[in-house]
Structure 1
Amino acid sequence: MYEILHTKAPEDELNFYLSYAKKEYKILEMMCGSGRFLLPFIEHGFDISGVDNSIFMLEKLKEKEPNAKIMQSDVLDFFTHERFDYIFISSGSICLISDVNECKEFLKKLKSFLVKGGRLVFALDTIATKCKDDEDYKISVSVKTKQNFDLFLKSKNHYDELTKTQFSPSIYELYDKDKLLKSETMDFKIHLYDLKEIKNILQELDFECFFIYSSFDKRIAKDDTSEMFLCECIN
């Protein structure tokens, strides 16, 4: 389903991450998935490496670009002696690290991978995107596969105000007309951020300076009404 729905990176988001890249930079994309951002960086001639925990996503990436420099690892366990000029995490993927203390340690580690003056850039989902609670599973996405099967994603949501965690347990179902061929569950949860929380985290990590934007054209975030924060942190 991911491959069907996300064949290419959104142009505005891609251009936002490309705006920080230079040909002489050593670049790292964490949580790179199947490469919808990493591959355009390669096409533009940038020196980029990628890390992701999913063997299946990385296999898809390798099908598209066999020479891509990628590493399979749980990002919380990942370590490298290399140092990078620019590290980025796209599409709010960092919110999948729903334990805030783990996320702080992760950001601290990424900071240590940067050269002096290097940039860490990442996107966050905000509390403005929290969903109303659902009683039952509802079809949230449906697509046709190459085999003309119907693939459905059924989800229900619960938002915990205390921890700012969005719980969205989900079920994938694959149908051939009315016949259920396969089903698979997913325990999906993300942490949603407010502006004060992410400011406090970045101050605690002691970056040389940082900026928090509310849009891809780099407007400074002023409140919690934005559906995303884009963080630019300078080491």
Structure 2
Amino acid sequence: MYQSLEASLHDLFWASESHADESHLLENFLQQQTGPSLEIGCGSGRLMLPLLEKGYQVEGVEIASDMVELLHKNAKERDVSPLVHHCAIEEFQPTQTYSSFAIPAFTLQLLSRASARQVLRKLRDISSEQTKLYLTLFIPWAEILDELEIDTWYLDKETQLDSGQTARCFTKHQIDRLHQTLYREHRYELAQQTHLSSQTLQWYFLPELINLLESSGWTYQEYDADFQKGNHDTDASVITVYATAS
């Protein structure tokens, strides 16, 4: 996952979706903390590097080699020196005590429910009593409501590069509503290049998510909907949840 063309186009597709920018929420969260933070699934540094430029203390954990390589390339261009732990979060060994953890960009949903609980429990185990948690997830309403045809390719993302070339991502899916699991295949295309990848995603409605947090040692505080501070729309496609170590 997140290799080759998928990795190199990742940030470009995010940048083309201004409505999907959560950087302001993450920065607002960090403004309320003192001490270092750890971003789980930091990828190519899309969210982390601008925070380092502003003086925030943020380390990252990332498992995908291509994304870590891109992160160091991007960091050199920005003249910042990030500390990145190249490993799965399950294997991560902390280097210090963190005042907060951030799991943005739907990263937790790439894990099975059992693994998600394990990760949240691990983060709690290396937390102090005042440690805060930031967590963003999405609910795939279009797939749930059959607005997208099952097992059929559709144009998911498209953006223009500075070179004038057009990058595209086509997606098809299967869905298991009973177990709230979405299976997606992606086909990335740029000029003569093509890359195929697949994802298995879990989705959570808020009551289940609160239960998951509290059973993992976290106390739920509040949420923001669709990347808008103070928005509590119960039918939102995206929820950003805040919790404190119990």
TM range (shorter): 0.7 to 0.9
Report the TM-score, using the length of structure 2 for normalisation. 0.81
Runs of 4+ aligned residues of structure 1 deviating over 6 Å after TM superposition are none
| More relative contact order, 1 or 2 (CA 8 Å, 6+ apart) | 2
* 1:143-182 superposed matches below 5 A: 143-145=159-161, 148-175=164-191, 181-182=192-193
Question: Is the CA contact 1:87–1:114 (under 8 Å) kept in the aligned structure 2?
Answer: no
**Offset at 1:147?**
5.2
Indicate the SS of the match to 2:70.
helix
Question: Is the CA contact 1:30–1:88 (under 8 Å) kept in the aligned structure 2?
Answer: yes
**Offset at 1:14?**
1.3
Report the TM-score, using the length of structure 1 for normalisation. 0.84
1:35 match: 45
**Offset at 1:33?**
0.9
Distance 2:61 2:70 in 1: 14
**2:213 aligns with one of 182, 185, 202:** 202
Q: Deviations over 1:114-163 (max 9, x none)?
A: 22211011111125353534242223223445555443322112221111
Cα 1:7–1:213 shift into 2, 3 Å: closer
2:97 match: 83
Cα 1:218–1:118 shift into 2, 3 Å: farther
Aligned pair count? 227
Question: Is the CA contact 1:155–1:168 (under 8 Å) kept in the aligned structure 2?
Answer: yes
1:102 is aligned to 2:102: no
1:191 match: 202
Distance 1:74 1:84 in 2: 18
Cα 1:130–1:218 shift into 2, 3 Å: farther
1:51 match: 61
Identity of aligned residues (%): 17
**1:125 aligns with one of 123, 138, 148:** 138
Cα 1:8–1:42 shift into 2, 3 Å: farther
In structure 1, the gaps of 5 or more residues are: 176-180
Indicate the SS of the match to 1:120.
strand
CA RMSD across the alignment: 2.5
Cα 1:140–1:186 shift into 2, 3 Å: same
Cα 1:182–1:14 shift into 2, 3 Å: closer
Distance 2:193 2:29 in 1: 43
Cα 1:9–1:155 shift into 2, 3 Å: closer
Question: Is the CA contact 1:7–1:36 (under 8 Å) kept in the aligned structure 2?
Answer: no
Q: Which one has the bigger helix percentage?
A: 2
Question: Is the CA contact 1:86–1:119 (under 8 Å) kept in the aligned structure 2?
Answer: yes
* 1:209-220 superposed matches below 5 A: 209-215=220-226, 216-220=228-232
